[in-house]
Chain A
Amino acid sequence: MENVNIKINGMPYSVPNGITILEACQMNGIRVPTLCYLKEINEIGACRMCVVEVKGARSLAAACVYPVNDGMEVTTNSPALQKSRKATLELLLSNHNRSCLSCVRSGDCELQRLCHEYGVDNEERYTGEKTPSEIDDSAPHMYRDNSKCILCRRCVAACDKLQSVGVIGANQRGFKTHIGCAFDQDLADVACVSCGQCIVACPTGALSEKDDTDKVWAALNDPTKHVVVNTAPSIRVTLGEAFGMPIGTNVTGKMVAALRRLGFAKVFDTDVGADLTIVEEANEFVERVQNGGKLPMITSCSPGWVKFCEHNFPDFIDNLSSCKSPQQMFGAVVKTWYAEKNGLDPKDIVVVSIMPCTAKKFEVGRDDEDAAGVPDVDIALTTRELARMINRAGIEFAALPDEEFDVPLGIASGAGHIFGATGGVMEAALRTAVETLTGDKLEKLDFTDVRGTKGIKEASYHVAGIDVKVAVVSGLANARALLEKVQKGEAEYHFIEVMACPGGCVNGGGQPTQPASVRNFTDLAGIRAKALYDADAGLELRQSHKSPVMKVLYDEYFGKPGSHKAHEVLHTTYVARSRF
């Protein structure tokens, strides 16, 4: 693309033709404030925070949508602009519930940060009636409090454009405009998949996960309970962000230390559940291939994806692997094998999982997820909630020593680690399935074709006389596009991995929030995933079926993969749901 010459704040720059003023500023280290703008999915120029002066233009221009052209002269920070932005903020505050002291986003609210930056010193410059609103707490995973909504529509864009779920949007008009569901139904009554991408897109406290930390505090302080925690693969590479560490910092040791200091009886690793998932799922795949079972087989680790499939592609329910997700397998093992081995009544065990995901809060309450007659997992917390607990407990995270997971359910393979990134489940499954199909030791464990944050990836592997065709998708809009192709017979695969969130769990709806100023210009998922692949590369143990823990579990309890016992404890069922 050819370049054009422009001036920003009097300094000359050469920038690619066709980009926006905002992008040109960003490239050259000039920050222009934004609120509604989310790159590629919400470029609507609505909030007027990013206004700039363009020489010769009649009015202020929205930098996020205004393209540069040759000779353009832009001012980003005049007194008039500061005044305009401050007025915009004051107007937003006139219809905003300013309970900032108790707000879940206090300290990382984009509106609050801008008010501070622009010296908003009178929160009540404009007073009057406020748009009536109620809190929607109907769904198991989140709250919507529209009294804190600024109508930026970032949540709507995430739901519709990233996920093609489209269950929220702007209803009514003018003063009555509010974000809600069709016919203003409760979120629990529509086809929401609980992915939480709306929450991480929200600049304010209007959307938040349901905070379940009080339940965990109560369990930890109940002497009759044996409280066990397990952490999903991606938490170790995102938790540090909540304590100001750089994106992509691996904090496994400190995370374990913090959990131990919070008082959990055992600090285990969901990666063990991931290893178990791979052993079962690879076996299921091999069986389907060899016995003419339903193909393509589709992964079932991501509860947002599973619910999406149940709502939108009920015809594909038999294609879903019957394997429970790693979280649920892990909980099931704790409440069966671990309980028996330690002489514990499953009713006295509380399994807490730390997840990158809000849909996990939905998943713990699903039917057929109770191997020991009690829920496999009792409480699923997001990364954000764990950070909140660590802070409240007065634990200085950065100063913690590095500690190891407890044994045996803390010993996991590198294949388990990479479950947290798009392509990771596929690669982990291939590391096991290829060996099973060929019967030979796999020399090269890296399946790099399925790595990376691209939305749809395809690969083909020649294994034991057949070409195994695989696809990997992340982001439900991509999943929809791929499945529609499969439906029409335009594409054919043996095995498909789907993760609901774009880039996989590392970019899940339960991960630490990053402001749009970071999200728009950083490959969050890619940087976080790299930390997982680095951890995997540094391990001896990189195949799930070679884990010593798997040997113990199968020798002592399950017999062999796909056994009757394994089916009872580790597999589940699905239901068709309404597309609306």
Chain B
Amino acid sequence: MASTKSSIPFTGTPEQERELMAVIAEHKEQQGALMPVLQKAQDIYGYLPIEVQEMVAAGLGVPLEEVYGVSTFYSQFSLFPKGEYRISVCLGTACYVKGSGAVFDRLSEKLGIKNGECTADKKFSLDACRCIGACGLAPVLTVNDEVYGKLTPDDVDKILAKYA
């Protein structure tokens, strides 16, 4: 397995660390502390890179692998930061049958990142999402709050160019 350590340098601040330590201290003695601590950690940092998970593991006295196991079991947790422009491609049923898979693959190829990852310049992140309720426009993607519909893979360049 290729390691899932984020190649984007960690830029956590001392304030963020203090905040995380306070959260850990608050939950330390409670059973099942890992989930709420991870949720708050993601609120603080936006994602859960190895640096953050190591702090959680050391703070709660649980193995790092246990922390990682939980963080990859639940889709709400992300191992990678979100970009300035968050691209979500709908892979819900209607979009999928209208070819959103190919749109997603083109984006992944152009940006050089996989599902859930972020480009090295932190500009774009890419996620596959479920139905966003715009089936009439299928296949659709969103960039932050902007919606793009009736897409083909060839539209990808144009959309990316708008944010370059």
Complex-state Cα separation, A247 to B2, whole angstroms: 41
B69 touches A169 (CB 8 A): yes
How far apart are the CA atoms of A31 and B58 in the complex, in Å?
43
Q: From B4, B54, B73, give the contact of A184 (CB < 8 A).
A: B4
B85 within 8 A of partner (CB): no
* Inter-chain contact A166/B65, CB cutoff 8 Å: yes
Most B-side CB within 10 Å, residue of A133, A160, A180: A180
How close is B149's CB to chain A, nearest CB, in angstroms?
30
Q: Is the CB of A166 within 8 A of B1?
A: no
> CB < 8 Å: which of B1, B5, B58 contacts A579?
B58
A282 at the interface (CB under 8 A from B): no
Q: Cβ of A136 and Cβ of B63 under 8 Å apart?
A: no
Taking a contact as CB atoms under 8 Å apart, the answer to whether B50 and A183 are in contact is yes
In contact, B73 and A183 (Cβ under 8 angstroms): no
Interface centre among B63, B68, B73 (most CB of A within 10 A): B63
B63 touches A166 (CB 8 A): yes
Set of chain B residues within 8 Å of A184, measured between Cβ atoms: 1-4
**How far apart sit A134 and B4, CA to CA, in the bound complex (Å)?**
14
A348 within 8 A of B: no
Known: A171-B69, A171-B72, A580-B54. A183 touches B63 (CB 8 A): no
Instruction: Report B66 CB to chain A, min CB distance, Å.
Output: 6
List of B residues within 8 angstroms of A173 by Cβ: 72-73
A579 proximity list for chain B (CB < 8 A)? 58
The listed residue (A172, A180, A182) touching B64 by CB distance below 8 A is: A182
Report if B67 contacts A (CB, 8 A). Answer: yes
A186 interfacial contact with B, CB 8 Å: yes
A182:B50 contact, CB within 8 angstroms: yes
> A141 an interface residue at 8 Å Cβ cutoff?
no
Inter-chain CA distance A386–B122, complex, in Å, is 54
Partner of B1, one of A136, A168, A190: A136
Nearest 5 pairs of A and B residues by beta carbon: A166-B63, A182-B68, A184-B1, A169-B65, A182-B64
Q: 18 other contacts beyond A160-B63, A190-B64, with CB at 8 A cut-off?
A: A136-B1, A160-B66, A165-B63, A166-B63, A166-B65, A166-B66, A167-B64, A169-B65, A169-B66, A171-B72, A173-B72, A182-B50, A182-B65, A183-B53, A184-B1, A186-B3, A580-B57, A580-B64
17 contacts between A and B (CB under 8 A): A160-B63, A166-B66, A167-B63, A169-B65, A169-B66, A169-B68, A170-B73, A171-B68, A171-B69, A171-B72, A182-B53, A182-B67, A182-B68, A183-B4, A183-B68, A190-B65, A580-B54
